[in-house]
Every structure is written in C-alpha cells, then in structure tokens.
Amino acid sequence: MLFSEVYGAYYNTLFKLLEKAVEGELTPELMLEIVREEGFEESVLTIPQALKEQTWPLITSDYGTPLEHRPTMPLTTLQKRWLKALLSDPRIKLFAPPMDGLEEVEPLYPADTFVYYDRFNDGDPFEDPGYIKRFRCILSAIRQKRWLRIHFEGGKGLCHSWRCVPYKLEYSPKDDKFRLISANNRESLSINLARIKGCFLMEPCEEGDYRPKAMKKRKLILELTDDRNALERVMLHFSHLDKETERIDDTHYKITLFYEREDETELLIRVLSFGPVLKVIFPHDFIEKLQERLKKQKNLRAQD
C-alpha cells in the first residue's frame, strides 16, 4: 500500500505535514498547500478536518505534534525484496539505479517468473556491454541537454551519421525495444537503439536548438462501444499513449490516440484485437490499412 500511487498518497501527505510540524514550521496555509500538492482534489476537505478534530491525533491545535523526532518511513523486508526484483530487470539496470541497502536482500521473484505471450522474440540486447554503454551515453545527453552524434545502421544495411538533439527514449512493450526520439534544426528521427553502433556527446544545446513541435505525432480517432467492459480494457491497453476521451452517450465514446509513425503496425494489430467494439473514424489511410490486413487474413483462412 505504501508504494501505491493512490493509497500511498495519504502516507506521503502526512509524512510531509509531520516533518514541518516537528520543525515548528507548520501553519494553516502551509498545511493546505502540502495537502493540495501531495494529495487528491478532495483531500483538502478530509485530511485537515481529520487532523483538526483529532480523528488522526497527530497534529495539535497550535500546529505542533506529539512527536519528538522527525518521522521516517522505513521499508519493510517485503518491500525491499520487491524493489530488488524490480531492480534486477535488465531494462531497469540500464538506468544504473542505486542498490544501496539491498545488497543482501533476496529478490521477491526470479526474472523468469513471467512469460510474455504477446511480445516479439527479437528484443534489444539489454545485457550487452556495448548496448549498455550507448544507452547511458544517450541518457546522459538527454539529462545534460547536449548535442549527440550517432552512427547507425539503416534499413538497407548502410551506415549513417546523424547529429541531433536527443528528445527522449521510448520503450515498446510489444517489440521489447527502446528507441531514441531525436531532432535537429531540419528534421526529426526515431531510431531503434539496437541499430545504433556508436554515439558521442557533443556541445551543450542552446536555447532554440530544439523545438518539440518538430516531433508532431499522428492522430487516430476511434469510436468505442462499451460492451463487456470494453472502455476499461481499451484504456488499459493504450495506457502508454497520449489520449483524449469524450463521452457520446451511455455506451459510446470517442477516443483520440496520438502515436509515432513507427508504432502504426503495432497499433493496427491492437485495434483489430478488439473486434467490433472499436470503429476507426480517422484517418482514412489507417482504415485502408485495416481493410487490407483483414483481406489478407481472410485469404489465408481460405487457403487453409
């Protein structure tokens, strides 16, 4: 519960309030500010009231606290084991997270516990030393806002050189691959990290070197019929994409998804997997590709 983004919010809010109370800095105004920042919209109506009425006897009427020392939130053994399991994932290791305090902890589960049945088998080589080195070089360029020179293999096997400002790293669960989203003053480029054979940090970026508008995403408009929890399933399935949802009536919704060009094939497959509950409204070329894929499937079945 402490790790939950939802349920853990109350613990974190009270932790911040008690910190300020122990230091003698808590005021009514600061209390409301902390609750708004750490809690939910309705928290300003519940948390201050519970503290004022002593339902939660943690803050006194003069905004002090019975506590004598600064509060702490130590991790339980179960939480440490869970963290160790997460940090043992080779994809997370790419970010070089600190392992302090977990050296002697056994992971809660081994890496091969989960079997992914809907993922391609040619994922990135996350444990390859060269891949790790290039990943961290790109990550440094993003964090330090520096230009980057990359050498990569093109679709026809030719080697290319690209001087760019790295915008962000994206991970595709379906492909099990990372890709670099980058741009320079002329154009943008999205490239799988496994195709990058070398990269080098260059000079710091200046104001105006990179404009995010160059990374314009494609738009897909769907009409959903909420049958058998379809809305919940679609929201979960496309949770990694930026989206807008508009209610049409009790059972129909308009959903707008924003995606990168490289994700189009994966998106086609995912939309088809929902069958008649999802109808594509826009764009027309996406509809044509859906129809073409359905015709191919029909022909294959006819041959069988």
The DSSP secondary-structure symbol of 164 reads E
Residue 285 has pLDDT above 50, yes or no: yes
- Quickly count: other Cβ atoms within 10 Å of residue 34's Cβ: 22
Q: What are the structure tokens assigned to 228, written together?
A: 């058998």
State how far the Cα of 263 lies from the Cα of 173, in Å rounded to an integer.
11
Q: What is the pLDDT of residues 229-258, one digit of tens each?
A: 889 889 888 887 888 999 999 899 999 999
The residue among 31 and 237 whose pLDDT is bigger is 31
Angle in degrees, CA 132, 137, 138, rounded to 5: 100
Reference 188, options 168, 210, 215, 163; nearest CA is 215
Average pLDDT over residues 204-208: 79
What percent of the chain has pLDDT above 90?
49
Q: Is 135 exposed, middle or buried (0-12, 13-18, 19+ CB in 10 A)?
A: buried
State residue 13 phi and psi, 5-degree precision: -65, -45
pLDDT value for 210: 58
Asked whether the beta carbons of 11 and 19 are under 8 A apart, the reply is: no
Query: Parallel, antiparallel, or unpaired: how do β-strands 218-225 and 242-247 relate?
Result: unpaired
Residue 225 has pLDDT above 70, yes or no: yes
Q: What is the pLDDT of residues 94-133, one digit of tens each?
A: 999 998 889 999 999 998 888 887 777 889 999 999 999 9
Reference 246, options 230, 223, 229, 264; nearest CA is 223
pLDDT value for 278: 93
pLDDT value for 209: 62
pTM of the model: 0.63
Residue 135 has pLDDT above 80, yes or no: yes
The residue among 214 and 136 whose pLDDT is bigger is 136
pLDDT value for 5: 62
- Tokens 């043992």: give the residue: 88
Residue 146 has pLDDT above 70, yes or no: yes
Average pLDDT over residues 280-304: 86
pLDDT value for 298: 81
Q: Is 7 exposed, middle or buried (0-12, 13-18, 19+ CB in 10 A)?
A: exposed
pLDDT value for 214: 46
Average pLDDT over residues 276-285: 93
Asked whether the beta carbons of 38 and 13 are under 8 A apart, the reply is: yes
